[in-house]
Chains A and B, each alone.
Chain A
Amino acid sequence: MLLVARVAAADPEADAERTFREALARADIAALEQLGAARPPTRWSDDAWSEAARLALRANDFDRARKDLEQVIAGTGAIGSDEQLVRRARAELARITNFAGSAGEWNAVAAEHERLAPAIGSGGDPRPTLVKLEQLVDRNPRYPRAAMVMVLIAQGWERDGEPSRAVAWLERAKRTATSPPDRLRAHVELVHVLIRSGALDAARVEIDHLDASPLMIRKLRDELATARLRRTIRWLAWGVLALLALIAAIALRRAAGSWRAAARRVLRPPLEVLFLVPIGGVLVAIAFTGNPLIARAVLAIVSAGIATSWLSGAILDGQRRPLRLQRIALHVMLAFVAIAAASYLAVDRGHVIDFVIETWRSGMER
């Protein structure tokens, strides 16, 4: 029994495996490097160097990662060397060289880029980070990933409500990009931002100059056409609401006899509003237990419904004679048009309309 235990303890492969597992669990780079360098080598040597490199990369220590990866490659052909680990080490070395330079000349810039990048999309105020990223690319315009930093800056400014700054950075990214994929990315992002910010003519010009596949250009043209259509409907909806509000005001004035009386009447909620408010309240409360985008749209539609019924009720309450059927039909139709226009505007905001279309095409979320 004792002999078996001694033999097991003397098994260098088993020892190396245990050391590897322990070092990996502790994320101990130095221990992994020590195991990689131990002689004679074991089947775990290249694994240890490879894992040490990955931990160094996570810590943005690119020089250390590079050296560790070179050790994996240097062990090619040794007993236990894994062809796939060597393949990955070569690829990883090439990747580090791509962004940090062949002699590590961009190490510090790349580390700063790595540190700042996540802050743009992960909540909180992105402005301080955006300013730091702007300074980073201003100081290092030849940094290999400068164009992509600019795209990131543009995304940050657009989210922060400054699409014109986003457009300026994307134009700069387009000029700075050194590879066709990066240039395409910056250009397509520019088109998207222009469309989203309503600069549709400028978007059309950019699409005309885009060097992309026919399908991508067609998709962007479709996106632009949809944006134009929605803008037209939006204007129409606001126009209809303004016109109906004017008609309601005049009808109220006629029914009440004076503007002052009309104002008094509109301050007093009609009976139907007293019924509608609690029903609407329940609907909104239920909506807010689910998707917040939908809830906001429901709140807007319910509010528009209450406002319409309030005005409608105020007008009807003031009628001295019973209404004719045609007048009632016209009244109902105009109320319906007002709610339809308000509903469109509610779903147009925050792109809820895309959600509605997706649900229509792909079915309900289950």
Chain B
Amino acid sequence: MRALVVFALIAAACDGEDDTFVEEGGSLEVPDCDYTITTRYGAEAPRMSGKTVGSDPTPRVVHLGIVGDPKTSIVAQWRTVDEMTTVTEIRYAEGANLSSDQLTKTVKGIHFRYNSTGTDLYRVHQAHLCELSPGTSYSYQVGGGDKWSPVYTFHTAPDIEANPDAEVVFGFVGDSRGGYDVWNQLATQIQMRAPDLILFSGDAVTIGLTQPEWEEWLAAAESLLATTPVVLTNGNHEANAINFYSQFALPGDQENFGFSYGFARIFVANDSPDDPSALTTTIPVAMDADFTDNESAKWKLLMHHRPMWSSGTRHGSNLMLQEAWGPIVDKHHLDLVLNGHEHQYEISKPLAGGLVQTSNATGTVYVVAGGAGAELYGYDAPGFWSEYIESTHTAAVLHVRASQLTMDSFHADGTLVPVGFTKTK
């Protein structure tokens, strides 16, 4: 084993690859994509695929993400069994469930290492595919040399101009930390509903700096995450760890960003930022600007971790966010606000200005779905805003069409939660 590591080091030196780790972060313009990847302090600057093949370059914990327009781009991310391999490639072709022989196009990716605790360095590989066709299935596999992942299939977001009848499906889930057996069950249930995108509302792991926990989380849902891109928000347990930002390619600054998928405009916000003053200053400004720029979007959704409205006894409603973000939610008439943090399922009545509305045409519905595996919390009496509450492990799927947005939540065994959400425009 040691000989193999030495061999890999020598091979890296012979390739002329600089192996020095500098944790200052950095940026790299991604070829053929109109964006730049920036790593943070704790990670090194991203580099283009190298030539080093380590002792075991087998790809693992493959998962998809989005940085650019999901109609035309996607990011495949993975780690290898060894930490030395720098070869980073993706093979792909248009079509679902193709064999590896049919993957005719190859693109080189990028890689970088990060350090969370102690002296261990973890390397993550990313392959960015851009200029894809909207609403199209692609087969792909990642790796390099003679070690490749299985072939997976993903598909791009539809072009709603060309397809007014397009429907997209989002899986929505949060708070799996520690309960990876339940997370595995829920991921399977979500996958059975064939979503296009996963929205994860934070607290995937208990301690964001613990790499083995991330690996457990990714492995428990690999067949879902290798075929469906995931967009996560930072929860209080991720705690802005470098592991989180390094392993998940996300749009913008990875903390507060908006993106469009099908007929939906989704803004993702970090409500546990390193600088808490951002909660009342830069974040609401960015949120307001994004929804203003996308005022014509058919459906507007906000996802963050700590709920503004919750009947849970553990954390309850976050009054500060109600004050700082609530007016923006009301101003832009958001349709749904998606949260976790409180380990139960709760859906609110339509609210505007903190008051219950008679119909969801004039109010926003707040959903807490923090039951992806973490130990469940209880509740006393439901708040005046509460439409339904259940202390249970759940996930949900959102069906988004031009004329209707629905949300069906389900338990870990697949049975439906009786109260969901339907809004027609």
Contacts and interface: CB of A to CB of B under 8 A. Distances in A.
Interface string B392-425: 1000000101011010100111111110001010
A121 B391 CA distance: 5
A290 B319 CA distance: 11
A29 to B, nearest CB: 14
12 contacts: A20-B403, A54-B399, A83-B137, A95-B193, A98-B192, A118-B418, A121-B344, A121-B391, A121-B392, A122-B389, A290-B316, A291-B315
Interface in A172-218: 181-182, 184-185, 188, 192, 212-213, 215-216
Interface stretch (A42-50, A228-236, A246-254, A339-347): A42-50
Interface string B151-187: 0000100100001111101000000001111101100
A91 B155 contact: no
B185 A92 contact: no
B414 A99 contact: yes
- Interface footprint category on A: 35 or more
Contacts of A123: 382, 389
A67 B194 CA distance: 19
A219 interface: yes
B165 to A, nearest CB: 5
A187 B414 CA distance: 19
A185 B182 contact: yes
Interface residues of B, number: 69
Contacts, number: 154
Given A82-B166, A95-B193, A216 B399 contact: no
B255 interface: no
Interface of A: 17, 20-21, 24-25, 27, 43-44, 47, 50, 54, 57-58, 80, 82-85, 87-88, 90-92, 94-95, 98-99, 113-114, 117-118, 120-123, 145, 148-149, 151-152, 159, 181-182, 184-185, 188, 192, 212-213, 215-216, 219, 290-293, 355, 358, 362-363, 365-366
Contact of A184 (B178, B181, B212, B411): B181
B25 interface: no
A58 to B, nearest CB: 7
A92 B193 contact: yes
Interface of B: 96, 135, 137, 155, 158, 163-167, 169, 178-182, 184-185, 188, 191-194, 196, 212-213, 215-216, 219, 236-237, 239, 272, 276, 279, 306, 313-316, 318, 320-321, 344, 375-376, 380, 382, 388-392, 399, 401, 403-404, 406, 408, 411-418, 422, 424
B192 A94 contact: yes
Nearest to B235: A362
A95 B412 contact: no
A341 to B, nearest CB: 25
A96 B237 CA distance: 36
Given A121-B390, A292-B380, A366-B279, A181 B96 contact: no
A362 B237 contact: yes
